[in-house]
Structure 1
Amino acid sequence: MTPAPPTDPPNPPLTRTARRRNRIVAVTCLVVVWVLLWGTLSWANVISGLVVAAVLLAVFPLPPVTFAGRIHPLPLLRFALRFLLDLVVASAQIAWLALRVGHTPRSAIIAVQLRVNTDLNLTLTAEALSLVPGSLILEADRSTGTLFIHVINVDSLAEVEQFRRGVLELEARIIAAIGSADEQRRVREGAYPPADLEGAPT
């Protein structure tokens, strides 16, 4: 009888330090999203965000996702500054679209496969995209690490490709800020996957 092939050992349980670190990362991300949604950095919003984060983590406990990376201060600062710039530029573009008379903006649904397929990277990239005006996450496929994004003001396939590359560059900035060495290597060595459109600009 042929012996069964060896199976991978189960993931070891998280240590107390790892669980504490994961909770801190989850609370920090939830508070940041809460403050960004309100649009004002104040003690009231920070405290209320902490309360909301505590309630969410208590009522809807997250699965034990291991945070394998570490915080890199300088890339994190670059990510924050570029994110704020994207917010300003996208807001101005949407305002200009609203003021243009007789112009009907076209849109597209774009599938972008991320190069680092982890729950944390998928969530952070989707949240960052959703907070920028003009793009909306329709679906996230965990099995393939693919985001399906509705994008407004897309007039050509060249602009579709430009947006898709922008998503992958956003992923690269997130991985540079909090990713592990292996995740950063995968982003550097990974080629841009081919574009996958759910429909041409309409």
Structure 2
Amino acid sequence: MRQRLREAPSHWLEILGATVFWCLLWGGRFSPSDVLGGLLVAAVVVILFPLPRLSVELTLRPWSFLTFVARFLADMFVSSLQVSWYALRPSGTPGNSVIAVQLRSRSDLFLTATGMLCTLVPGSVVVEAQRSTGTLFLHVIGAYDTATVEAARQRVLRQEERVLRALARRDVLEGAHLP
């Protein structure tokens, strides 16, 4: 317990974030009593229920990150137009499939990030993620034959590659066989 008390100041960002969240929960007021109460509750939570240490798998590559963000926004825009077209077109419902995509990285962090990003792009949603095999199962609108299923699978793999190139350490990239 004493060690946790000594470590509390090093968790100032967690305490600050929890304090802001506390104030927002109490109606968005940032009165002195709300802030002090939030600081107290946050400090107690951080001391009694510490988060596990994360492995440091991240490194920021600014140019790759900007490329990743720009491409992600473009994918969202194009997919929004496609889903809108599927909703408004006079013909029947589009074909869809549940596809399995074996990711190259074995990192839980990048498996989760890739899954979240794929779900944020309209027209696809992760229905299952198998941590042990690094496989994402996605429901994809517009994937109805071998060619469109393979195209959807390649989009997911390119998304993972952009995430890895933007944020992964060199050893994670090498483990995913990306130079």
**Given the two structures, how large is their TM-score scaled by the length of structure 1?**
0.63
1:10-59 Cα shifts (integer Å, max 9, x gaps) = xxxxxx8xx86x97xxx8xxxxxxxxxxxxxxxx9xxxxxx9xx8xx969
Name 1:123's counterpart in structure 2: 112
How far apart are 1:178 and its partner, in Å?
0.6
Bigger helix share: 2
How far apart are 1:182 and its partner, in Å?
1.5
1:79-103 Cα shifts (integer Å, max 9, x gaps) = 0000000010000000111111122
RMSD of equivalent CA atoms: 2.9
Distance (Å, rounded) in 1 between the aligned partners of 2:178 and 2:85: 38
Q: Rg bigger for which structure?
A: 2
1:91 matched to 2:83? The reply is: no
Name 1:73's counterpart in structure 2: 62
Unaligned runs of 5+ in 1: 1-15, 28-43, 45-50, 191-202
Unaligned runs of 5+ in 2: 1-6, 18-27, 29-37
Superposition pairs of residues 6-155 of structure 1, within 5 angstroms: 63-155=52-144
1:135-182 Cα shifts (integer Å, max 9, x gaps) = 011011111111110001113111101110111111000000110112
Greater displacement, 168-177 / 58-67: 58-67
Which of 166, 187, 193 is residue 155 of structure 2 equivalent to? 166
SS in structure 1 opposite 2:128?
strand
Contact 2:104 2:177 in 1 (8 A): no
Judging changes above 3 Å, is the alpha-carbon distance between structure 1 residues 62 and 99 closer, same or farther for their aligned structure 2 residues?
A: farther
Distance (Å, rounded) in 2 between the aligned partners of 1:179 and 1:111: 23
SS in structure 2 opposite 1:137?
strand
Contact 1:109 1:151 in 2 (8 A): yes
- Percent identical pairs in the alignment equals 41
Distance (Å, rounded) in 2 between the aligned partners of 1:98 and 1:62: 43
Structure 1 segments of 4 or more deviating over 2 A? 57-65, 185-190
Distance (Å, rounded) in 1 between the aligned partners of 2:51 and 2:77: 32
How many equivalent residue pairs? 143
Distance (Å, rounded) in 2 between the aligned partners of 1:60 and 1:90: 41
